[in-house]
Structure 1
Amino acid sequence: MDAKRELTSVDLAALVAELGRYEGAKVDKVYLYDDDLLRFRMRDFDRGRVELLIEVGDVKRAHVADPEHVADAPGRPPNFAMMLRNRLSGADFAGVEQYEFDRILSFEFERDDENTTVVAELFGQGNVAVLDETGEVVRSLETVRLKSRTVAPGSQYGFPDSRVDPLTVGYDAFVRQMEDSDTDVVRTLATQLNFGGLYGEEICSRAGVEKGLDIAEAGEAEYEALYDAIGRLADRVRNGDFDPRVYLEDDRVVDATPLPLEERSGLSAEGFDSFNAALDDYFYRLEREPEEETTGTERPDFEAEIAKQQRIIEQQEGAIEGFEEQAAAERERAEALYAHYDLVDEVISTVRAAREDSVPWAEIEETLAAGAERGIPAAEAVEDVDPAEGEVTVDLDGTVVPVDPSVGVEKNADRRYTEAKRIEEKKEGALAAIENTREELEAVERRREEWEADDEDDADEEADEERDVDWRSMSSVPIKQPEHWYEEFRWFHTSDDFLVIGGRNADENEALVKKYMDGNDRFFHAQAHGGPVTVLKATGPSEKAREVDFPDSSLEEAARFAVSYSSVWKDGRFAGDAYMVDPDQVSKTPESGEYIEKGGFVIRGDRTYFRDVSASVAVGIQCEPETRVIGGPPSAVEPRAETTLRLEPGKFAQNDAAKRCYRKLKGRFADESFVRKVASPDKIQEFLPPGGSSIVEE
Structure 2
Amino acid sequence: MDSKRELTSVDLAALVGELGAYEGAKLDKAYLYGDDLVRLKMRDFDRGRIELILEVGEIKRAHTVAPERVPDAPGRPPQFAMMLRNRLSGADFAGVEQYEFDRILEFVFEREDGTTRLIVELFGQGNVAVTDGEYEVIDCLETVRLKSRTVVPGSRYEFPDSRLNPLTVSREAFDLEMEDSDTDIVRTLATQLNFGGLYAEEICTRAGIEKGMDIADADEDDYDRLYEAIERLALDLRNANFEPRLYLEDGEDGDDDDESDDSTESARVVDATPFPLEEHAELAAEPYDSFLAALDDYFFRLELDDEEEPDPTTQKPDFGEEIAKYERIIDQQQGAIEGFEQQADDLREQAELLYAEYGLVDDILSTIQDARAQDRPWDEIEARFEEGAERGIEAAEAVVGIDSSEGIVTVDIDGDRIDLVAHDGVEQNADRLYTEAKRVAEKKEGALAAIEDTREDLEDAKRRRDEWDADDEGDEQADDEDTEETNWLEMPSIPIRENEPWFDRFRWFHTSDGYLVIGGRNADQNEELVKKYLEPGDKVLHTQAHGGPVTVLKATDPSEASSSDIELPDSSIEEAAQFAVSYSSVWKDGRYAGDVYAVDSDQVTKTPESGEYLEKGGFAIRGERTYHRDTPVGVAVGIQCEPYTRVIGGPPAAIEATAETTIELEPGRYAQADAAKRLYRRFREEFEDESFVRKIASPDRIQHFMPPGGSRIAEE
TM-score, normalising length: structure 2: 0.40
TM-score, normalising length: structure 1: 0.41
